[in-house]
Structure 1
Amino acid sequence: MSDHAGTRQTDLAPDDAAPPSSATDTATFGLGCFWGPDARFGAMEGVVRTRVGYAGGTTPEPTYHELGDHTEVVQVEYDPSVTSYADLLEVFWSTHDPRAASRTPQYRNVILVDTVAHRQAAERTRQEVASRIGGAVETPVEDLDAFHLAEPYHQKYELRSTPVVGDELVDRYGDDLVDSTVAARLNGFAAGHGDPERRESVLAELDLPPAVLDEVRRRI
């Protein structure tokens, strides 16, 4: 994890104390089915919110069953005083084979950028990966034109699929589950991501019923 200057949030602040979107940066990645990367990034320290959706295509108002030429993507809101875009890119490149061309638009690997700084960083790491593997990188860097939020049942899928835990969090947050820092972190933990000691430290701080916390620990 990079060392960043500035005021540092706690690893998992309560949702009402989490940085607002105006104080975060956003990254957008396609990494195959969006359930997995949603969980992987959600477990990272400094990630404030995650959401899954569709981007990269031209089909208006895409849905899961009428996706058209769009790609399943995850958007990651992160606190730049805690983690960096470079940290996220490191995870992105380490979790797929950049030499493999995507077979379908839906599950392709892609970095979608909406700032000059992010494009420069993404292109730089793409060149570094090409140098490391000694060959062509098939994973593209493209402009993000629009992001379309996926249906609620796709948001925090690992968490929703965990008995007791999913029910408790859905009841507690309702439609706001997608923007919950706690839900993002637990979604990652439920999928087995995160350092064991850090996971336990985070779980110990949460004001959740013991049965819910025990189920997360059992799932891990």
Structure 2
Amino acid sequence: FWFPDGAVWLCPGGDPHPRRVTREEPPRTRLTRNWADHTETVQLEYDPTATSYDRLLEMFWGFHDATACHKRQYMSAISYHDKEQKQIDRRQLTRSSSTKLARTLATKILPAETFYDAEDYHQKYLLTERCADVCKSLRAAGVNLKTSHVAARLNGYCSGNGSKASFEAECTQLGLSDQLTEMVRRYVKQ
């Protein structure tokens, strides 16, 4: 779920959060660590005046292999919150299956359940792992890293999403120092 997290941060109106979907209390708060009933996912809150649910699903279909079959922890799934989203999900699943030819889609369409925050080390993972120098310069960690809009945007750019032109247009608004701007430029695609 790290790659979608990086991609959707640069989508207009998107506000993703790495989460785990489970039917009970998160395992990290229990004495045993049984991860069998959870799925790693990105919960996306979005502004419908800035982007559409359809557009977000198009991004979803574009950045993962919907035919890959994985165990529950890593399965491909879309969680809907109402009947309208469920209908849109099914329509796009049907459209996607027609483009995948003879391969069976493994993506599940499921009702949204309880979302729990993923561990801190999953937050802005691509920024903290691939671009550790940038993350260190931000001086953001833990809750600050998780809630930082600047860290979120940089996670998108440092994960290979976004263009140099969009970064250049935004870097002043993000309040980045000249040194930090130069560091991020090394990771941003042409």
Q: Give the TM-score band, short-chain normalised.
A: 0.7 to 0.9
Aligned length: 183
Deviation per CA, 1:144-185, whole angstroms, max 9, x where unpaired? 1100101112101122232332124344x7514323332221
Query: Match of 1:185, SS?
Result: helix
Within the candidate set 62, 66, 76, 2:27 is matched to 62
Is residue 40–residue 73 contact of structure 2 (8 Å, CA) maintained in 1?
yes
Question: Take 2:126 and 2:177, find their aligned partners in 1: how far apart are those partners?
Answer: 19
Report the TM-score, using the length of structure 1 for normalisation: 0.75
Q: Which amino acid aligns with 1:50?
A: P
Is residue 23–residue 114 contact of structure 2 (8 Å, CA) maintained in 1?
no
Report the TM-score, using the length of structure 2 for normalisation: 0.85
Question: Take 2:81 and 2:63, find their aligned partners in 1: how far apart are those partners?
Answer: 22
| Mapping of residues 26-175 of structure 1, within 5 Å | 34-47=1-14, 49-55=15-21, 57-63=22-28, 66-102=34-70, 104-135=71-102, 136-161=104-129, 162-171=131-140, 175=143
Question: Take 2:148 and 2:48, find their aligned partners in 1: how far apart are those partners?
Answer: 18
Identify if the C-alpha distance between structure 1 residues 116 and 179 changes in structure 2 by more than 3 Å, giving closer, same or farther. Answer: farther
Question: Take 2:65 and 2:92, find their aligned partners in 1: how far apart are those partners?
Answer: 14
Shift of 1:60: 2.6
Report what 1:6 is aligned to: none
Query: Match of 1:54, SS?
Result: strand
Shift of 1:59: 4.6
Deviation per CA, 1:1-43, whole angstroms, max 9, x where unpaired? xxxxxxxxxxxxxxxxxxxxxxxxxxxxxxxxx1111111112
RMSD (Å) for aligned C-alpha atoms: 2.1
Q: Which amino acid aligns with 1:67?
A: W
Identify if the C-alpha distance between structure 1 residues 111 and 82 changes in structure 2 by more than 3 Å, giving closer, same or farther. Answer: same
Is residue 113–residue 141 contact of structure 1 (8 Å, CA) maintained in 2?
yes
Question: Take 2:144 and 2:128, find their aligned partners in 1: how far apart are those partners?
Answer: 14
Shift >4 Å, 4+ stretches:
none
Q: Which amino acid aligns with 2:26?
A: E
Question: Take 2:182 and 2:122, find their aligned partners in 1: how far apart are those partners?
Answer: 24
Query: Match of 1:106, SS?
Result: helix
Q: Which amino acid aligns with 1:213?
A: T
Shift of 1:66: 4.1
Question: Take 2:49 and 2:149, find their aligned partners in 1: how far apart are those partners?
Answer: 16
Q: Which amino acid aligns with 1:197?
A: A
In structure 1, runs of 5+ residues without a counterpart are 1-33
Is residue 78–residue 109 contact of structure 2 (8 Å, CA) maintained in 1?
yes
Q: Which amino acid aligns with 1:61?
A: P
In structure 2, runs of 5+ residues without a counterpart are none
Report what 2:183 is aligned to: 215
